[in-house]
Structure 1
């Protein structure tokens, strides 16, 4: 049955039975040997880079290739590229740990291993480099560049020695038929984005649904592979990567209705396979779906405007790049890998246009890519500004706002305002009435403009020149939102008002206040890391982490961290409250539902668990 399935000659019953068997075997591996082998593996690598200095367990190297081979070989709808990148990252991490390297060097080896994996898989060394930098590290600076390039070139060289041959996809020599065709390619890129966002959303919510039922990994993967097998009964082409059908589509050999059926079948089959946790990536499925979607779009456009448009195969090619870019938020990687897979550079302009637009619309609809979506739901944000935003998410405006502010009356004259600005060296003052209710904001530029217009300095008042439409924030609003609002509006300050009484002025928050709050939080983070290191030294590095969710009747509920009498030496490294990640300090009060991450010596773990599981009434007795 397996051999027949791989040759495409299996009977319908065999397709379903083989898929179910594959789900059982893969689930067994994930449940008993390597839970990290589930899914594409890239989110796990990103979490490792963000939280653990790139350190990953050796079992990934052992079990990931086997689990992926079984998933793809037994009818799963997924790709090998994500798992290969994860496998390469695991190899790099293992080498770095074996050589006792620093966190930064281990991270470099993780990225290098991922680059080598992509390069060897597709014979695409340039795309391998940018995949590692753009997706894994999300850092295009030159710090990691040299090592990543060397690893990717080595992977590509080995691939060409072992598997010599032509380009991965064989594409006819397409070229832009007319400049009037560019709007159609732009529309293709825009339309790819909602499809990609829907895929990300449905995949992760299917995964959450299965986990909410408390099913074992074996049950989840069996259900997912079984549903994929059911789709495969009518559309056997959706099994595996499906690159042979992509090749046909690029040549314009798949008609409109078949392209739509194959694209939809692959869309849902991949959701079931990857969402259930079977071992496989989304790179190849996105190329397949993008190709079919682009081909269907191209058929319609070419039939309607044959004189100024390319054949459907050209739209299939551009659709591949646009779809993967929208899912991964990696436009550079998407463009480069299509160039390297096809060797076709004649459609460069449509490719770049559609890819940039699909990425922009996708990021507008959902700021998280497929690889970061689940991490963001856990409160972990990765990327160039990830550390800044993560810290600011744990802070509220009330912790940074300045409350000792000078407020002026609406009857203050221009002359008095000029003197006040000269004396106070401020750029703006809030205008309030007799009850302290906010009326508006008057800036020094408003006063200067009124004087330049020749207005009477004694008769003209603040009420005449103030700006009434004021951008505000609230004391309980996350600080990162206030920072974004400042940047978006190009403002120097935000007025802080009561959320229930919008005219009640509480304070002001400026860019420098946010910077100071960030610096203080960063200092607390460094101090916590130092305490963890001291804890490791005191216990010969036999340290474990524990995540504890505080119930409403916990002994911790309602207490400040500094008031808790811990039974053993431990460090609370962070608190997750909803989507906020809080860097704790002594004044932080524990609330019901908070997730506390605690570092403790392994020999003290049971004592700490017993303390955390005790209830308030137990403590009183």
Structure 2
């Protein structure tokens, strides 16, 4: 989500560089995912943080890519024909990872009978059981145990990118890692997003290349290329930052010949992700935690602002007058300083009463006159709301539930201006 502070925007690229040794991808990740604006004023601080992170990595560790990869050369046309299939499959794995993790996280929060501190332990126990089972099984079958379900899984991922890797083992690691990570993340533990997505995508590519090899002749270099495409596509589907997905895999492998295939894979994975998920992983987490994305991720321009739903700025706890008797009017005027109030009597919307009209009616001991209430749906755009506010004589618009036809909130001209001022402040702060 976008933030008005330079701290997160500067800290994130440094951490990403330290973890993956990918300074360019760190820059694009912050601009695509956190700031969500490639023309951001934070570019300078993001670039500086990325450079410092790269210096730290080179000073404290060896100067080589995060993943070793055998030279693959330029892919042939068969690889380009298989790339969309692998990209779509890896993207679907990413979608499954995202939806299942978020769903389990929501379910776990409702488990009141299980103490919160025990839930992560349950997820860890599930992951441990799966990891040990796969290690023992692969050791018995192949003579070499695979630990890819544990931790980041770089050892098995490196093996898949440097030599011929069993596609059956890749399928087993794919299923095991997927279930283990979902269990850890969904139960409240540490599951990660970047590393699991890269591992799951890589194993998807190895698995499919093995299956393709049953029907067509594929070289070990082809398997490596498809594995890398899977890594980029799965990550791109989960974080929905295609440029980052391309660059991070390119920098981790340092193979320029892979870029065209990665670009094609990014195109496919973006389409698949948007088809099945409304938001990326991070945005779904924010929404599940009760944040309104319109507040966390402010619009970048006038068009984006006008396309926001009215619900982004509405007041869903308005003071509603349900009785026009003098006693009730006096109590409301004394308790609340507002200039206008919606009137709903016996669940029927009657209109709007202004503070001035209510005072005059009490002084003259007469029935108050109500102004008509202009209504709109919460899903309508702010652009449509602006026209409704122009039509409203009181500067107040009521939000009505389309199904039940009941008043659920209001929006005033002050609400609109207050939100516009807040957005302007977010763009001018820290400049």
Please report how far the alpha carbon of residue 521 of structure 1 lies from its aligned counterpart in structure 2 after TM superposition: 4.1
Task: Name the CA shift for 1:481/1:178 in 2 (closer, same or farther; >3 Å).
Answer: farther
Q: 1:260: how far off?
A: 0.4
* Conserved 8 A contact 1:274-1:280: yes
Q: Which residue of 2 aligns with 1:232?
A: 131
Which of 368, 373, 383 is the matching residue for 2:284?
Answer: 373
Per-residue deviation, 1:208: 1.4
In the superposition, the TM-score normalised over structure 2's length comes to 0.68
Q: Residues 304 and 519 of structure 1: is their aligned pair in 2 closer, same or farther, counting only changes over 3 Å?
A: farther
Q: Which of the residues 84, 90, 108 maps onto 1:186?
A: 84
Per the alignment, residue 392 of structure 1 pairs with 310
- The 8 Å contact of residues 181 and 191 in structure 2, kept in 1 or not, is answered as no
- Choose the corresponding residue for 1:164, options 36, 59, 62: 62
Q: Which whole-Å deviations, capped at 9, do the CAs of 1:457-483 have from their partners, x for residues lacking one?
A: xxxxxxxxxxxxxxxxx9535114998
1:114-513 equivalences under 5 Å are: 114-214=12-112, 215-236=114-135, 237=147, 238-306=149-217, 311-377=222-288, 378-381=290-293, 382-383=296-297, 385=299, 388=305, 392-394=310-312, 475-476=376-377, 478-480=379-381
> In the superposition, relative to structure 1, how do residues 213 and 186 fare at CA in structure 2: closer, same or farther (>3 Å)?
same
Query: How many angstroms apart in 1 are the aligned matches of 2:257 and 2:193?
Result: 27
CA distance in 1, matches of 2:412, 2:308: 10
- The 3 A distance-change label for structure 1 pair 161 and 205 is same
What is the alpha-carbon root mean square deviation over aligned residues? 3.0
Name the structure 2 match of 1:111. Answer: 9
Give CA deviations for 1:15-54 in whole Å, capped at 9, x if unaligned.
xxxxxxxxxxxxxxxxxxxxxxxxxxxxxxx4xx5xxxx5
Using the TM superposition, give the Cα deviation of residue 180 of structure 1 relative to its aligned residue in structure 2, in angstroms.
4.2
Match for residue 522 of structure 1? Answer: 416
Contact in 1 for aligned 2:174/2:200 (Cα 8 Å): yes
| Shift, 1:277, TM fit | 1.7
- The structure showing larger relative contact order (alpha-carbon pairs under 8 Å, at least 6 residues apart) is 2
Task: Describe the shift of the 1:480–1:526 C-alpha distance in structure 2 as closer, same or farther (beyond 3 A).
Answer: closer
Question: 1:524 offset after TM fit, Å?
Answer: 3.4
SS of 2:94 mapped into structure 1: helix
Over 3 Å counting, the alpha-carbon distance change for 1:345 and 1:527 in structure 2 is: closer
| CA distances 1:97-150 after superposition (whole Å, capped 9, x unpaired) | xxxxxxx4xx22211111111112222111111111112222211311011100
The answer for unaligned runs of 5 or more in structure 1 is 1-45, 55-103, 397-473, 484-497, 501-516, 530-621
- Number of equivalences: 321
Shift, 1:317, TM fit: 1.0
User: Residues of 2 paired with 1:336 and 1:518: CA distance?
Assistant: 46
| Residues in 1 aligned to 2:206 and 2:189: alpha-carbon distance in whole angstroms | 29
Distance in 1 (CA, whole Å) between partners of 2:151 and 2:180 is 10
2:7 alignment partner, SS class: helix
Q: CA deviation at 1:383?
A: 4.4
Structure 2 stretches of 5 or more lacking a match? Answer: 136-146, 315-374, 385-400, 404-410, 424-431
Q: Is the 8 A contact 1:170 1:342 kept in 2?
A: yes
Structure 1 residues 124 and 225, CA, compared in 2 at 3 Å: closer, same or farther?
A: same
Go from structure 1 to structure 2 and tell me whether the alpha carbon gap of 1:178 and 1:211 turns closer, same or farther (over 3 Å shift). Answer: same
How far did residue 309 of structure 1 move?
A: 9.6
Cα shift readout 1:77-114 (whole Å, capped 9, x = no counterpart): xxxxxxxxxxxxxxxxxxxxxxxxxxx4xx22211111
User: TM-score, normalising length from structure 1?
Assistant: 0.48
Rounded to whole Å, the distance in 2 between the matches of 1:156 and 1:285 is: 23
* Structure 1 residue 217: Cα displacement: 2.8
Question: What is the CA distance between 1:267 and its match in structure 2?
Answer: 0.4
Contact 1:207 1:276 in 2 (8 A): yes
Task: Tell me: CA distance 1:395–1:151, structure 2 relative to 1, closer, same or farther (3 Å).
Answer: closer
Q: Report if the CA contact (8 A) 1:181-1:309 is conserved.
A: no
Offset of residue 192 of structure 1: 2.0
Mapped to 2, the partners of 1:367 and 1:155 lie a distance apart of 33
Q: Does the 8 Å CA contact 1:177/1:309 hold for their aligned counterparts?
A: no
